[in-house]
Amino acid sequence: MKFKDQRVWVLADEAGRPVRDAEGRAEMKYRETDPKSYRPALGNLAPDDGKDDGKDDGRGAPGPRRAAPRAGAKAGAGVVRRASAQAPADIPGTIEIWTDGACSGNPGPMGIGVVVLDGGARRELGEYLGSGTNNIAELVAIERGILLAGEIAKGDKQRPLRVYSDSSYAIGLLEKGWKAKANQELVARIRKVVATCARLSFVKVAGHAGVPENERCDELARVAISRGLMR
């Protein structure tokens, strides 16, 4: 696809449609191998007509000289797909997992909030974790959310799951393969949980931006901290 007349890579589903996050934005990279991605509005993306415009992409190479598509990417389209091919939120039967971690001080008392949605069914969880950091709380919230979704799915590993989190740190470690410099045992434990899910994806959402389920998770986490401190 193209962004401002420049060829880019956009995460897409099996049908070649851009995968949208909770805010309706796509995930875009200027090169497939770039570690940083961007979130343009769909209206700012245009189909790639395949023509060489010869423009420099600002990164030392002409725009048309793209990295070769990896397995699962549609050749010549500037599209990157996850291993799951389709966006789980677009698949019937997807379980949505909203999570958030909170910390009163950092480090300080921690709490987590989880909301799991399965069609019309809704499960909520708020839990006090004791003393630690915000990053620990974010990771544990995702772990609890996946485990709760597993209970709802009654052990069906093929049920598609989508985790919504406002933590770039947690998503980087669990989806993008970032190296854990801290919390290594915790990260290893949660990666094992993630590995048991056949169809799992993550969506980064904006925190404290009025996203209803994210705000609800934050509320559950903070209430859990308050109750934990009162014990």
pLDDT score for 155: 81
pLDDT of residue 157: 84
d(CA 4, CA 19): 19
DSSP 43: G
Quick one: 132 and 226 in the same domain?
Answer: yes
Q: What is the pLDDT of residue 92?
A: 79
Between CA 169 and CA 148 the distance in angstroms is 22
Which stretches does DSSP call E strand in 133-213? 161-165, 200-204
Q: Residue 64's pLDDT is what?
A: 36
Q: Are residues 215 and 107 in the same domain?
A: yes
Cβ-based burial of 217 (10 A; exposed 0-12, middle 13-18, buried ≥19): buried
The residues of the chain scoring below 70 in pLDDT are 13-17, 21-24, 32-36, 48-90
pTM, 2 dp: 0.64
Q: What is the pLDDT, as a whole number, of residue 69?
A: 38
CATH code, domain carrying 130: 3.30.420.10
Which of 63, 81, 99 is the last residue before a domain boundary? 81
The string of DSSP letters for 178-190 reads ---SS-HHHHHHH
> What per-residue confidence (pLDDT) applies to 172?
95
Structural domain count of the chain: 2
Residues 211, 215: Cα–Cα separation, whole Å: 6
CA dihedral 17, 21, 27, 12 (to 10 degrees): -20
Asked if 212 and 113 sit in the same domain, the reply is: yes
Range of the domain at 97: 89-230
What pLDDT is stored for residue 223 in this prediction? 97
Same domain, 135 and 77: no
Task: Give me the half-sphere count of Cα atoms (radius 13 Å) on the Cβ side of residue 163.
Answer: 32
Pairing of strands 200-204, 161-165: parallel
Q: Which amino acid is at 177?
A: G
- Considering the domain architecture, whether residues 208 and 105 belong to the same structural domain is answered as yes
SS3 state at 137: helix
Q: What pLDDT was estimated at residue 47? A: 75
Asked whether 120 and 152 are in contact (CB, 8 A), the reply is: no
